Amino acid sequence: MTSDSLSDQHEQLGRATTKLISEHAALLESAAVTSGATPADLEKLFSEPLPLDDSPAEEILEQFARDIAPHAMQVPSPHYFGQFNPTPLAIGVWADALCSSLNQNAGAWRNGPTSAMVESQCIRWLCELIGYNDGAFGVLASGGSEANLIALKCARDRAEPGAMRAGLGAQNQLTVYTSEQCHYSVEKSLDILGLGRDSLRKIETDERFHIRLDRLREAIETDIEKNRKPCCIVGVAGTTSTGVIDPLPELARIAREHDCWFHVDAAYGGALAFSEEHKSKLRGIELADSITFDPHKWMFVPFSCGATLVREGGQTLRHSFDMSPEYLSEDRGFADAQYDFFRYGQMGTRRFNSLKLWMCFKFMGKRGYSETVERHIELTRHLAARLDSLLDFERVGEIETAVCCFRYLPESVRAMSGDEQDRIQQELQQRVEKSGKAFFPSTVLHGRRALRVNINSYLTEHRHIDDLIELLQTESRELLREK
């Protein structure tokens, strides 16, 4: 193959792929959100022998169009109300193709000089947006889970500087505090970092699902009495189940009092910072030692793209992650090591993921993001108002972002036991999912199953919310009729 024939191949595949992508987008309004296929159905479609010979690209793309796309969860649909998964911006989708064509290894400056600059710029934009000073810096991660892990490693290394070399051992005394509404990645991270899952104190939440400060103080006091060492408090800005924001200034104060690292998991809610109307909900976030912010949630950047931001800047990350392999440490006479992102996090070879973030930032601008975030919150309030007007549904918690939780509780269901009520919520969720007309998950709030809708598509409008209400009414009536 020559570079000319490679160019021809791109031309041909580019046309065919563009057609597939634009045809898929055109169907988003009407296509079923879920395919209804079971794992066994899909196994039949995909189980074939290891390919020994080459296949024409057209045939492979045909298989994509026939077997893959129609059975995918239609995440970009305006009827998809799932877990903070957005409709990706078109420029982000194509940025991914450009990223692959350059195939930069964004781990080290020498393997991707422009990717290092673009990532640095994106990090500075995110830091500015959140209200950090110029000294702050950060690193892109695969998503919120990895971003939380990176931040918690910094917290551990500050509390126990010897742990990097010697590990923590069975005598670990460090404890970490967060709301019982935290994302599971916090608990997983403590396991990976050698603190163990039992070092996490999941603090009770109030009736609106914010962390209870009195309970947090009690837990810290109890641990200190037992000679444990409080190491980190994690506040959540946009909890996974209800989208609410913990009282960040108060958490920062408690963290300071106990010399704890303060991390804010704003994987979802960080985007509130775009909006003049809503950014006050994040008050206190700038006091955090570190922040998780996922552009692949409310910034509509295609998966995957998360970020860890650190108030004290790159030195903190390098203290925890820097290595000097011989083959990446030649002196080139200029300060390129500061742009080696493998020194700031756990990944070695890294995608040029900042390209899609950079393009999305420019394409939308702060104003574009602000308008979309505000519109989503307004749409969520519309949904809440429609539910409030129906006697058979009861809302759970408050609308602080674009998440609305509720339960189906007509009189006959109210008379049932708690477990039976939970089963009804699950059955309703399943009916909606099987209908293919919309998708939302359920969750558990203060021990009871609830339905959870998140608006995260810039294609969603009032009419889609009204369709969802109609669907809920139809499916719930059918559900009761069959009981």
Ligand X SMILES: Cc1ncc(COP(=O)(O)O)c(C=O)c1O
Residue numbers at the binding site for ligand X (CB under 6 A): 83-84, 143-145, 148, 183, 185, 236, 238, 240, 265, 267-268, 294, 306
Nearer to ligand X, 267 or 450 (CB): 267
Residue among 104 and 240 whose Cβ is closer to ligand X: 240
First and final C-alpha spacing in the chain: 65
CB 136 within 8 A of CB 277: no
The nearer residue to ligand X, 83 or 474, going by C-beta atoms, is 83
Nearer to ligand X by Cβ, of 83 and 114: the residue is: 83
Query: In terms of CB distance, is 301 or 472 closer to ligand X?
Result: 301
Contact 74, 33 (CB under 8 A): yes
Compute the least distance from the CB of residue 143 to ligand X, in Å. Answer: 3
Query: Of 279 and 386, which has the nearer Cβ to ligand X?
Result: 279
| Min CB(185)–ligand X separation in Å | 5
Question: Please, what is the minimum distance in Å from the beta carbon of residue 401 to ligand X?
Answer: 11
Smallest separation, CB 242 to ligand X (Å): 11
Closest approach of Cβ 241 to ligand X, in Å? Answer: 9
**Please, which residue, 172 or 290, has the CB nearer to ligand X?**
290
**Residue 78 vs 143, nearer CB to ligand X:** 143
Closest to ligand X by CB, 209 or 339? 209
| Phi, psi (degrees; rounded to nearest 5) at 113 | -60, -45
DSSP 319: H
Q: For residue 212, count other CB atoms closer than 10 A to its CB.
A: 16
User: Shortest approach of ligand X to residue 31 CB, angstroms?
Assistant: 24
Find tokens 């109300």 and name the residue: 81
Rounded CA separation 59/67 (Å): 12
Nearer to ligand X, 107 or 144 (CB): 144
Residue matched to tokens 């960080």: 270
Q: How far is the CB of 84 from ligand X (least distance, A)?
A: 5
SS3 category, 142: coil
Q: How far apart are CA 298 and CA 372, in angstroms?
A: 9
Determine contact, residues 434/35, Cβ cutoff 8 Å: no
Contacts of residue 241, defined as CB under 8 A and 6 or more positions apart, other chains included, come to: 181, 209, 403, 405, 443, 444, 445, 452
Cis before 304? omega within 30: yes
Q: Minimum Å distance from CB 267 to ligand X?
A: 4
Count of CA atoms in the C-beta half-sphere (13 A) of 147: 29
DSSP conformation letters of 397-438:
S--SSSEEEEEE--HHHHTS-HHHHHHHHHHHHHHHHHHTS-
Q: Closer CB to ligand X, residue 245 or residue 384?
A: 245
SS3 state at 247: coil
Radius of gyration of the chain (CA): 24
**Cβ at position 430, least distance to ligand X in Å:** 21
CB of 288 within 8 A of CB of 249? no
On whether the CB atoms of residues 370 and 274 are closer than 8 A, the answer is yes
Q: Which amino acid is at 209?
A: F
In the complex, the smallest distance separating the C-beta of residue 75 from ligand X, rounded to whole angstroms, is 13
C-beta of 221: minimal distance to ligand X in Å? 27
The CB density around residue 195, as the number of other CB atoms within 10 Å, is: 25
Query: Quick one: which of 57, 267, 245 has its CA closest to 145?
Result: 267
- Tokens for 321? 């992650």
Nearest residue (CB) to ligand X, 291 versus 384 = 291
β-partners of residue 450 are 443
- Least distance CB 362 / ligand X (angstroms): 23
